[in-house]
């Protein structure tokens, strides 16, 4: 036993020493190649540089060299990206946690984190830190990563959309959701008539600007609304299921409208947009009516054959990326393709839950906050500096709330819901959140929105999302007081 250990030790020492010595000798003899490689001029330059280094006034210490290396590394694109992601995640989680503590959805905190890290606060009060942490040349990397986060997020939203729920409550949901789209859309288009001269870029036509403002007014944040309903304990109630159904129908309809608007903007005219819309419609029908039945058993394969899970996940991501590629190629945003890929996923609930769990963490925690900060970098609250601009901001907010709230509330009352549930539903449908920011960034990228109106609309999205929880509490309190008063009157009689 001892002899065996000795042999192993001897062999180890022999191999290490022989090959280490050989490596050292090769490196030493390699220096000769360097001497022959360089010309006399290069050698002369090298000698002169050596002489200048020997000059005590130009001598660099080992620490100086180390400091210079660290300084260069701290300004490399990859290091900057790491610092951006770290600061974004930490601030987003802290503010999201604080918002949850005061009864607000975490998305509010993430949006605020984006504004804080943007030019409105960090860039205004600490410009040197802002220019180091978010230099202009680094924003392209941040934008691409945020787009990947959005694609994954829209894929999850598509999977969470229950088409059966839409069928079961189709009549009431369609009436309420379409009323909550048409009313604010009309009010937004009308408002754009007064905003166009001041806020539309020179190259944006009135039709493009008006259609986009109308669409921005019509959006409901389906994911945020779903989380508010869950946090309020309304998931298993009639109001909760109706709100989810209406928001889902609202999102599907609004995204279709936005797809048509983008096609018109990119094509230039309604006639030119016809081919884009026809191609997109054909692709959507193909995915829903042909491809979805084709992959019906994908969920069962994933559950029943765990050894094939990685292959199946790769197939799912190929579907997601291919769908995004097609819609992007057809002149539509890749987000639509990601949403459609989520919609056609198999109806196996266990499979969907596992898939959402895998995708949601990296999307919501890591990549999606990058989108909020990228939006915050575009949002300059300082641009809304005059009383006139704040007046426009208030008008935009009132128009958005009035159109969405009353369009939803009155139609809900018309289909037979109580006044209390109608008011609650109208408040929930007025929640805009992340979906509004996605729409606004699309408009900004297309050159339809100036920075001033972009900032005003971001503030509107933030305000309408923030006001949801307090107004829900106020409505519940008012109707509770009303019911208690009625009970006391009956008891007195």
Give me the pLDDT at residue 484, please. Answer: 52
What's the pLDDT score for residue 393? 93
Q: What is the C-alpha separation between 473 and 66, in angstroms, rounded?
A: 59
The pLDDT assigned to 35 comes to 62
Q: Residue length, the chain?
A: 493
**Token duo for residue 158:** 């598509």
Question: What is the distance between the alpha carbons of residues 126 and 117, in angstroms, rounded to a whole number?
Answer: 10
pLDDT band at 162 (very low <50, low <70, confident <90, very high): low
Q: How does residue 12 score in pLDDT terms, banded at 50, 70 and 90?
A: confident
pLDDT of residue 235: 63
What one-character-per-residue DSSP string does 339-365 give? HHHHHTS-S-HHHHHHHHHHHHIIIII
Instruction: Report the range of poorest mean pLDDT among 23-37, 105-119, 276-290.
Output: 23-37
Is the pLDDT assigned to residue 7 strictly greater than 60? yes
| % of the chain residues with pLDDT over 90 | 14
Q: What is the pLDDT of residue 54?
A: 46
pLDDT for position 56: 47
- At 190 the pLDDT is 93
Arithmetic mean of pLDDT over the chain: 80
What angle is formed at CA 151 by the lines to CA 431 and CA 427, rounded to 5 degrees? 5
Distances 255 to 78, 174, 451 between C-alpha atoms, Å: 35, 15, 23
Mean pLDDT of 121-135: 89
Higher pLDDT, 8 or 403: 403
Q: How far apart are CA 389 and CA 384, in angstroms?
A: 5
389 or 42, greater pLDDT: 389
CA 318 to chain centre: 21
Report which of 472, 402, 371, 424 is spatially closest to residue 118, judged by C-alpha positions.
371
Q: Please check whether residue 200 is in contact with residue 444, taking contact to mean a CB–CB distance below 8 angstroms.
A: no
Neighbouring CB atoms inside 10 A of 253's CB total 18
Task: Answer whether residue 341 shows pLDDT above 50.
Answer: yes
Q: Which whole number is the average pLDDT over 223-252?
A: 74
Contact 381, 455 (CB under 8 A): yes
**Residue 154 burial (CB count, 10 A):** 27
pLDDT category at 323 given cuts 50, 70, 90 is: very high
Give me the domains of the chain, ranges plus CATH numbers: 162-367+385-483 (1.20.1530.20)
Tell the residue number behind the tokens 């008006």, with chain if given.
Answer: 210
Q: Is 60 helix (H, G, I), strand (E, B) or coil?
A: coil
Nearest by Cα to 266 from 106, 446, 420: 446
* Residue 356 Cα distances to 26, 110, 328, 335, angstroms: 55, 21, 23, 17
- Quick one: average pLDDT of 48-73? 66
pLDDT for 490 equals 42
Q: What value, to the nearest 5°, has the Cα angle with vertex 378 and ends 376 and 383?
A: 105
Residue 486 has pLDDT above 60, yes or no: no
Q: Pinpoint the alpha helices (H) of 76-162.
A: 77-101, 106-117, 122-125, 127-133, 139-160
pLDDT in tens, 268-296: 666 666 777 788 888 988 998 889 888 88
Q: Which two tokens stand for residue 371?
A: 């989108």
Residues 6+ apart with CB under 8 A from 41: none
* CA distances for 233 relative to 198, 227, 230, 236, 294, angstroms: 44, 10, 5, 8, 37
C-alpha distances out from residue 391 to 38, 43, 197, 201, 493, Å: 71, 71, 16, 20, 51
| Cα–Cα dist 235/225, whole Å | 11
Which of 252-261, 312-321, 468-477 has the lowest average pLDDT? 252-261
Alpha-carbon gap, residue 17 to 14, rounded angstroms: 5
Most confidently modeled of 166-180, 351-365, 475-489?
351-365
- In the chain, what's the furthest Cα-to-Cα distance? 115
**Mean pLDDT throughout 152-172?**
73
At 40, the pLDDT band (50, 70, 90 cuts) reads very low
Residue-level pLDDT at 168: 60
Summarize the confidence of residues 146-150 as an average pLDDT: 86
User: Quick one: pLDDT at residue 489?
Assistant: 45
* pLDDT mean over 308-332: 85
Asked if the model's pLDDT at residue 6 lies above 50, the reply is yes
């Amino acid at each position: 036993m001892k002899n065996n250990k000795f042999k192993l030790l001897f062999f180890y020492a022999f191999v290490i020493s022989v090959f280490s010595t050989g490596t050292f000798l090769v490196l030493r003899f390699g220096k000769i190649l360097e001497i022959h490689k360089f010309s006399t001029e290069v050698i002369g330059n090298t000698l002169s540089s050596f002489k200048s280094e020997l000059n005590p006034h130009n001598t660099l210490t080992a620490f100086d060299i180390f400091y210079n290396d660290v300084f260069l590394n701290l300004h490399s694109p990859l290091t900057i990206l790491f610092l951006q992601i770290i600061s974004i995640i930490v601030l987003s989680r802290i503010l999201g946690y604080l918002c949850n503590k005061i009864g607000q959805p975490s998305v509010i905190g993430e949006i605020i984190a984006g504004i804080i890290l943007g030019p409105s606060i960090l860039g205004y009060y600490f410009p040197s830190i802002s220019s180091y942490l978010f230099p202009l040349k680094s924003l392209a990397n941040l934008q691409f990563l945020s787009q990947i986060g959005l694609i994954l997020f829209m894929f999850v939203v598509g999977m969470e959309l229950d088409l059966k729920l839409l069928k079961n409550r189709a009549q009431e949901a369609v009436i309420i959701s379409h009323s909550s789209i048409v009313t604010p859309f009309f009010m937004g288009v009308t408002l754009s008539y007064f905003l166009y001269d001041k806020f539309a870029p020179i190259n944006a036509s009135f039709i493009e600007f008006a259609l986009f403002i109308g669409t921005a007014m019509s959006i409901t944040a389906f994911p945020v609304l779903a989380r508010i309903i869950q946090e309020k304990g309304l998931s298993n109630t009639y109001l909760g299921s109706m709100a989810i159904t209406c928001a889902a129908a609202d999102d599907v309809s609004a995204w279709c409208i936005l797809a048509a608007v983008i096609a018109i903007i990119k094509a230039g005219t309604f006639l030119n947009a016809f081919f884009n819309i026809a191609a997109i419609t054909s692709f959507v029908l193909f995915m829903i009516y042909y491809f979805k039945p084709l992959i019906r058993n994908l969920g069962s394969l994933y559950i029943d054959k765990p050894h094939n899970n990685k292959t199946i996940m790769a197939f799912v991501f190929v579907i997601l990326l291919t769908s995004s590629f097609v819609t992007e190629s057809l002149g539509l945003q890749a987000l639509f393709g990601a949403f459609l890929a989520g919609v056609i996923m198999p109806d196996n609930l266990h499979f969907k839950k596992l898939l959402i769990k895998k995708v949601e963490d990296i999307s919501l925690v890591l990549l999606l906050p990058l989108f909020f900060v990228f939006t915050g970098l575009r949002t300059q609250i300082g641009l809304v500096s005059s009383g006139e601009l704040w007046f426009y901001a208030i008008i935009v907010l009132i128009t958005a709330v009035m159109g969405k709230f009353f369009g939803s509330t009155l139609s809900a009352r018309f289909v037979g819901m109580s006044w209390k549930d109608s008011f609650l539903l109208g408040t929930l449908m007025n929640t805009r959140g992340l979906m509004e920011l996605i729409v606004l960034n699309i408009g900004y990228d297309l050159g339809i929105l100036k920075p001033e109106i972009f900032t005003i609309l971001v503030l509107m999205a933030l305000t309408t999302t923030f006001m949801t929880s307090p107004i829900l509490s106020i409505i519940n309190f008012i109707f509770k007081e009303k019911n208690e008063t009625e009970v006391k009157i009956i008891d007195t009689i």
